[in-house]
Amino acid sequence: MKYIFAFFVVLSCIACNSIPGINSENNQTIGNFEKGKDYSILKRFRFNDQNGFGEPIVAYSILLPDDWKAEGGISWLAKGPCVNEMVSNRSSAQSPDGSFKIDFFPVRSWNWYEDQNLKQYYQGQAYPGNPIKYCDIMPAYNAGEYLQNIFVQEIGNPTIVSIENNTEIANEMEKKARETASLIQAAGVNNVSFRPSAIKAKLNYPDGSEGIAIVAVSQTVNQMPDFINGGNTNSYVCQADQKIVMRFPKGQYEQAAKLISVAISSIRFNPVWLNATAQIMQNIGRGQQVENAKQAEIMRKSREEISAIQQQTWESSQQSNDRIAQETGRLLRGVEQWSDPTSGEKVDLSLGYNQAWTKADGSYILSNNVNFDPNVVLQEDWKKLEKK
């Protein structure tokens, strides 16, 4: 599923020596070192799938300042309008004073048909009780058009100040899509092309606050025979994979950009959850194809091809989430890479710090104070990282 869950979650932003959005009155002083000034602690927050497997299971985790608040996670929408929207992520996080907030919105999947007969047929299938859950019928919007026509209403109708294309991210999305083209072809769909797009937008809200929106849309275009008029026609399986908005005080754009960069790069998915979810979606996809075969022959081929594309799109995106997330964070230019000299493991953390440590629970400490050592100050076991 080109489905990247739309989860690119939050982390703290850095104004060189401190993380904005943390109230100074909540800062802790140990000896001569003040938290929020001499050092900042980032904690890994875990988000659950509450009901997909009978009991809560961790689906993914992100880094946040340790005194931020986060809520939400994964829910399953069994009565949703579209198979690809069944696994829904809706989560948010904010600083203690609420001045910095990031929201992650569920994936949106839809179809479009150039052939008017196909379009009218699928529009007519959206009736109560239909065992097949068809996706909405909407124009084949790219990321910028989706923001302007659909997503802006979901986020409170802010003014869109500017839109900047992220061609590097789009190229990464297309590269991953092409890696799974053989799977789509194995399902009997041969004439397929990919049109991914990704944007970063600046927003202004009526209350004076500002925002950053990150939107990525994947389009899988299937050229198929026009059974009625002859020749060929195109159908589109579209998915808004990333839908993220960060809101912040006026004038804090640079800090917010660093914040969202680290947030995106820190996402880690639970492979056990991913594999189990992918298996369920495979089974659902096969069941839908069986139902499709019961329909009129003139529509059979198009439905089966679209169902196959949707299934492979869903699965492939789950396998590429970490890589695309990390690439997105880097391209927003708010992070730099550190490594654990013992294990070689790499992590992207915010720009502007000269020292970093990690410990076994996945937390990080950042500091510019040359005299600060968390092993001494906090009396805990922290391992120092090396800047790449």
Q: How many domains does the chain have?
A: 1
pLDDT tens-digit map of 123-165: 887 777 776 677 889 999 999 999 999 999 999 999 999 999 9
What is the band of 5 on the pLDDT scale with cuts at 50, 70, 90? very low
Answer whether residue 359 is part of any domain.
no
pLDDT tens for 280-320 read: 777 766 555 444 444 433 334 444 444 454 444 443 444 44
Tell me, yes or no, whether 212 lies in a domain: yes
Range scoring the smallest mean pLDDT among 166-175, 213-222, 299-308: 299-308
Region 213-223: mean pLDDT is 91
According to the model, what pLDDT value does residue 332 have? Answer: 59
**254-260 mean pLDDT:** 85
Where in the sequence is the domain holding 231, given as residue range(s)? Answer: 24-338
**154 found inside a domain:** yes
**Which SS3 state, helix, strand or coil, does residue 45 take?**
strand
> Is residue 63 situated within a structural domain?
yes
Residue 360 lies in a domain: no
State yes or no: pLDDT of 4 exceeds 50: no
Residue 157 lies in a domain: yes
pLDDT at 360: 85
Is residue 210 in some structural domain? Answer: yes
**pLDDT in the model for residue 277:** 84
| Whether pLDDT at 328 is above 70 | no
> Per the domain annotation, does 116 fall within a domain?
yes
The mean pLDDT value of the chain amounts to 78
> What's the chain's length in residues?
388
DSSP conformation class of 272: H
Terminal alpha carbon distance of the chain: 33
The string over 58-89, giving b where at least 16 C-beta atoms fall within 10 Å of a residue's C-beta and e elsewhere, is: bbbbbbbbbbbebebbbbbeeebebbbbbbbb
With 0-12 / 13-18 / 19 or more C-beta atoms within 10 angstroms meaning exposed / middle / buried, residue 359 is: middle
- For 265, counting Cβ atoms within 10 Å of its Cβ (0-12 exposed, 13-18 middle, 19+ buried), the class is buried
Name 74's bridge partners: 49, 89
